[in-house]
Amino acid sequence: MMRLILISGIVCGLGVSSLLAEPRIVCDQPTFDFGSRDTSEIVSHTFELKNTGTSELVITAVRPACGCTTAQLDKSVIPPGESSKLGAQLSLAGRGGGIQKPIVIESNDPANPAFQLTFKGVVGSDFEFSPSILTLRKDSPEIAASASTILKSLKNEPYEILDAKSESGKLKVRWDKFSNENAFQITTNLEDRFQPGQYGDKILLETSHPARKQLEIIVIIIVPAPISVAPLKIVLEAGSREPVSRTIIIKNPDNEALQVDKIEMPDFSMTSKIEAMGSSGFRVIIGNIQPTSALEGKSARILLSSGQMIQIPFELKDTP
């Protein structure tokens, strides 16, 4: 009887021990304080995850808070008493002020199935671009596109721009220093022909600043498809004494919406009326046109909300 009780006790003990076997996720430093950093930097840190439990810890997912954070786990199955390293990087581009970026670790730890690691710190900047991104819109192959930004030292530290060039080599860059402060106006020009579409480029600056030898400016190049205009000129009979009207058809071949901001006529007595043709086109009806020599060399101007301007010249033709 004594032996039976002893064996039963051992079996019961083993059963209880098995039931109590659990993994436990631990990180001695779950929050990494990176201090104060510049917006141009990428913060890197390695977190060490330990299993202090009595069974295997299985990490099923690693979920950074946003696309600015990446994380790579050394191993996803951690035996009791062992650890795994998680290398993480946080891009500070576009950030400002105090920030906290979590990384959630999902595992089979019943006590903490969603364990959180955190990047913490303050993001500042030695320099400021205003605007931060340059947009070049080239509405016509014959017309050069230009854009400017102001570069300032936020700490008012003296520096010089030593060189400036575009990453593609297709942009012309110049810089002009303001006389009364540590700031520059940086202007870029695009003269090359581009096919319709959107393109990306960068301006690379080399400076004399001891901490920021190189700076970058993001450039977006937009080349819209040419807008279809018919007719290209308004032909009038020079001998006519009666006012006439003409219709201009304007369409966007990309089927993108067109919107007129303003129509300017060379004679205040002329009238204009806009009729939509779907969402990507319209007709402009110009009325009360007096076919006189005063219109020779003049144009009707149609300004679109995109910033484009369409000019329709008037031409007087002698009656045969």
> 77 pLDDT exceeds 90?
yes
pLDDT tier at 292 (50, 70, 90 boundaries)? confident
pLDDT at 141: 63
pLDDT at 104: 96
pLDDT at 17: 44
pLDDT at 92: 85
> 8 pLDDT exceeds 70?
no
93: Cβ–Cβ under 8 A, 6 or more apart, which residues? 39, 40, 68
What integer is the mean pLDDT of 72-87?
95
Evaluate whether 127-223 and 228-317 have a shared fold: yes
pLDDT at 251: 87
> 105 pLDDT exceeds 50?
yes
110 vs 181 pLDDT, higher one? 110
CATH class of the domain whose range is 228-317: mainly beta
Lowest mean pLDDT of 69-78, 126-135, 264-273, 283-292, name the range: 126-135
Q: Specify the CATH superfamily of domain 127-223.
A: Immunoglobulins (2.60.40.10)
pLDDT at 226: 75
- Provide DSSP, 116-185: EEEEEEEEE-SEEEESSEEEEE--STTSPEEEEEEEEETT-----EEEEEESSS-EEEEEEE-TTSSEEE
pLDDT at 127: 82
pLDDT tier at 4 (50, 70, 90 boundaries)? very low
From 2.40.50.140, 3.40.50.12280, 3.40.630.30, 2.60.40.10, which CATH number describes the 28-124 domain? 2.60.40.10
What integer is the mean pLDDT of 267-280?
88
pLDDT at 319: 66
pLDDT at 28: 95
Averaged pLDDT score across all residues of the chain: 85
Which two three-digit tokens encode residue 74?
């050394």
Q: What is the pLDDT of residues 226-271, one digit of tens each?
A: 788 899 899 988 777 789 999 999 988 767 777 888 899 998 899 9
- Provide DSSP, 227-279: PEEESSSEEEETT--S-EEEEEEEE-TT-----EEEEE-SSTT-EEEEEE-SS
> 297 pLDDT exceeds 50?
yes
93 vs 186 pLDDT, higher one? 186
**Count of CB atoms situated within 10 Å of the CB of 25:** 23
> 87 pLDDT exceeds 50?
yes
271 vs 15 pLDDT, higher one? 271
Q: What is the pLDDT of residues 38-47, one digit of tens each?
A: 777 889 999 9
215 vs 89 pLDDT, higher one? 89
> 16 pLDDT exceeds 50?
no
pLDDT tier at 184 (50, 70, 90 boundaries)? very high
User: Domain-by-domain residue ranges, the chain?
Assistant: 28-124, 127-223, 228-317
Bridge partners (DSSP) of residue 148 are 187
pLDDT at 119: 95
130: Cβ–Cβ under 8 A, 6 or more apart, which residues? 149, 150, 152
> 117 pLDDT exceeds 70?
yes
